[in-house]
């Protein structure tokens, strides 16, 4: 067996803990995938044996591997297989894209789309009507960018037998209907979307595997070595296990299965028993819950209604049932990650964690996901309760506008829109801020995520003004948000997130220093090498 399978030399080793370069210029990796030696080029190269891969980085910058703190690999790989509508800026763009897609279909085939921005509707109600002329007799399912709502064509609704309103266990789920009780095509939340999805064609197991493998390879090429996967639906765990066993898993994944409203004692017990299961590079760790939906589709939980009188209730019909589940999981030592976007939702999660901690149990690192708008009196509670703030700054960059003319801001009004994605305020209040993309909601390249946390400008046009520039993170804080912070969130700070002896050899190598490259140029910095568990998962042609 090779004792030193990998040596990297002529490098600049950047430690996010200090923000400085280490004095050493080379490192060696042991057979168990750990950093086994740090030193100068000559002494580390001397550790190589005939089977060692030796890489001259020519001054490349080595950082701990980037980890996306919130990602949906399996569902993302499936959803992004359709028509990409994310570049459409108005209804005419969408009609043109749908018309082209429909013309390519064979008779009876479905049209799938994703990434549709509700801002394209302007002042027109979000619904399928603007596209009826191009989707006549075409079964179509178009996911809005937030993945919490979708548009179904008339034919798709007919095939699904959806001809009026429905009631769901998910309190914010809705088949949106007009004044006469006819569906408008807008489906709110997972339960409503599922009515149509269940009659649509599904990919085969082989297609799912190939799509997931391709998506993960792209992530590795972008510099990701890990991700906190916020779902375990369908066959996702089997897919991870299959890729892992075949040596084709290029990311280290921490998977949090969902706990939905209506979960009984047996369901919660099953989630507890599932913890710690997994393979060499993936494991189940934590549980994902939802406290609300999204602001853009009126299903967030706000302390005051939005401008349409919506976003007034929780995802759980009985919020206290959520509180009881969090308490049970806490006492079992299981960390929770709760989707909470609106101020009322975030407050309820913090209240529930505080109540759980008072009821006993050990130290558990709970998280709140998204945190799009919160008042001042909420900020300090994250640090006081030890709750992590998991945030996706590119959502602010690409789906809102500095002048608050976007759908998100108009729904909230000026006061709450001015509290958008308070990364700086949460960080300054003592909270640990974990960064991620929420892919497929936003692009997964980690350099783009870190750049957005710094410049807060629309990635399509960086000349536009930033939304809330006072909430920007520094370059070092952004780097920590994808290295030391996700390691801490996973309880792995003793073995991940730093360049140190004995730490995992999960590494990202860049052509330039991410702390000095201007934020607007950071996404264009080449990723030279990605290393997972001491194994090269991406290598640029130049190294």
Asked if pLDDT for residue 449 goes beyond 70, the answer is yes
| pLDDT tens per residue across span 312-327 | 999 999 999 999 999 9
| Number of CB atoms found within 10 A of residue 51's CB | 10
> What is the model's pLDDT at position 169?
87
3-state SS track over 41-78: HHHHHCCCCCCCEEEECCCCEEEECEEEEEECHHHHHH
Q: What does the pLDDT look like over 386-431, one tens digit per residue?
A: 999 999 999 999 999 999 999 999 999 999 999 999 999 999 999 9
Could you give the CA distance from residue 398 to residue 401 in angstroms, rounded to a whole number?
8
Distance in angstroms (rounded) separating the CA atoms of residues 169 and 268: 17
Q: What pLDDT is attached to residue 2? A: 60
pLDDT digits (tens, 9 = 90+) for 269-284: 999 999 999 999 999 9
Whole-Å CA distances, 1 to 30, 38, 281, 541: 11, 21, 21, 28
- Average the pLDDT over 172-200 and give the result: 94
Q: What pLDDT is recorded for position 18? A: 95
Report pLDDT for 170: 86
SS3 (DSSP) at 375:
coil
Strand partners, 539: 529
In eight-state DSSP terms, residue 216 is H
Q: Which of the residue ranges 51-55, 234-238, 350-354, 511-515 would you say has the lowest mean pLDDT?
A: 234-238
| DSSP 8-state secondary structure symbol assigned to residue 195 | H
What is the value of pTM for the model shown? 0.93
- Quote the pLDDT of residue 171: 85
List the structure tokens of 15.
Answer: 């430690």
Helix (H) or strand (E) holding 351: helix 343-358
Q: What is the pLDDT at residue 108?
A: 87
Using pLDDT thresholds of 50, 70 and 90, give the confidence band for residue 530.
very high
Among 206, 264, 212, 210, residue whose Cα is nearest residue 233: 212
pLDDT at residue 71 is higher than 70:
yes
Average pLDDT score over residue span 277-298 = 96
Q: What share of the chain is helix, strand, coil (3-state, %, to 5)?
A: 35, 20, 45
The DSSP call for residue 235 is T
- Using the predicted structure, report yes or no on whether residue 233 has a pLDDT greater than 90: no
Residue whose pair of structure tokens reads 């009196």 in the numeric block: 377
pLDDT > 70 fraction of the chain, expressed in percent and rounded: 100
What is the C-alpha to C-alpha distance for residues 453 and 471, in angstroms, rounded to an integer?
8
Q: Tell me, what DSSP letter sits at residue 128?
A: S
Is 80 exceeded by the pLDDT of residue 174?
A: yes
Q: Does the pLDDT value for residue 1 go beyond 80? A: no
């Amino acid at each position: 067996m090779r004792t030193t399978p990998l040596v990297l030399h002529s490098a600049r080793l950047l430690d996010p803990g200090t923000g400085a370069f280490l004095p050493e210029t080379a490192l060696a990796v042991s057979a168990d995938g750990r950093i086994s030696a740090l030193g100068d080029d000559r002494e580390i190269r001397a550790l190589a044996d005939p089977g060692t891969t030796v890489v001259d980085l020519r001054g490349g910058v080595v950082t701990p591997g980037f980890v996306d703190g919130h990602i949906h690999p399996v569902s993302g790989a499936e959803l992004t297989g359709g028509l990409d509508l994310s570049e459409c800026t108005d209804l005419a763009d969408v009609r043109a894209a749908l018309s082209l897609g429909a013309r390519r279909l064979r008779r009876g085939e479905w049209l799938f789309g994703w990434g549709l921005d509700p801002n394209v509707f302007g002042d027109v109600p979000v619904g399928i009507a603007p596209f009826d002329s191009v989707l006549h007799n075409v079964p179509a399912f178009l996911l809005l960018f937030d993945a919490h709502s979708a548009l179904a064509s008339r034919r798709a609704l007919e095939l699904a037998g959806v001809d009026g309103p429905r009631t769901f266990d998910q309190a914010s789920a809705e088949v949106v209907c007009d004044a006469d009780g006819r569906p408008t095509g807008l489906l709110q939340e997972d339960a409503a979307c599922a009515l149509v999805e269940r009659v649509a064609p599904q990919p085969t197991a082989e297609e799912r595997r190939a799509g997931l493998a391709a998506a993960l390879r792209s992530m590795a090429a972008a510099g990701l070595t890990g991700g906190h996967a916020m779902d375990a639906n369908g066959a996702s765990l089997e897919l991870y296990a299959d890729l892992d066993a075949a040596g084709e898993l290029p990311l280290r994944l921490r998977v949090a299965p969902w706990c939905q409203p209506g979960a009984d004692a047996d369901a919660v017990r099953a989630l507890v028993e599932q913890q710690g299961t997994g393979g060499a590079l993936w494991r189940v760790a934590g549980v994902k819950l939802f406290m609300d939906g999204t602001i853009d589709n009126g299903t967030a939980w706000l302390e005051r209604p939005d401008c349409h009188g919506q976003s007034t209730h929780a995802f759980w019909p009985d919020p206290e049932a959520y509180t009881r589940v969090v308490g049970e999981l806490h006492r079992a030592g299981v960390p929770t990650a709760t989707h909470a976007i609106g101020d009322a939702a975030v407050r309820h999660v913090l209240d529930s964690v505080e109540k759980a901690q008072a009821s006993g149990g050990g130290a558990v690192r709970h998280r709140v996901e998204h945190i799009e708008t919160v008042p001042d009196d909420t900020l300090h509670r994250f640090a006081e309760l030890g709750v992590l703030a998991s945030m996706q700054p590119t959502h602010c960059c690409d789906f809102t506008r500095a002048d608050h003319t976007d759908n998100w801001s108009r729904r909230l009004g000026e006061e709450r829109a001015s509290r958008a994605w308070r990364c700086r305020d949460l960080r300054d209040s003592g909270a640990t801020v974990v960064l991620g993309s929420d892919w497929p909601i936003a692009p997964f390249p980690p350099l783009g995520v870190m750049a957005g946390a710094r410049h807060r400008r629309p990635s399509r046009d960086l000349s536009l003004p930033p939304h809330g520039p006072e909430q920007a993170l520094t370059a070092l804080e952004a780097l920590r948000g994808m290295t030391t912070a996700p390691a801490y969130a996973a309880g792995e700070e003793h073995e991940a997130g730093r360049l140190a002896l004995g730490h995992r050899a999960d590494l990202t190598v860049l052509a330039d220093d991410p702390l000095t490259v201007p934020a607007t140029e950071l996404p264009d910095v080449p990723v030279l090498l990605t290393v997972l568990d001491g194994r090269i998962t991406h290598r640029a042609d130049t190294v």
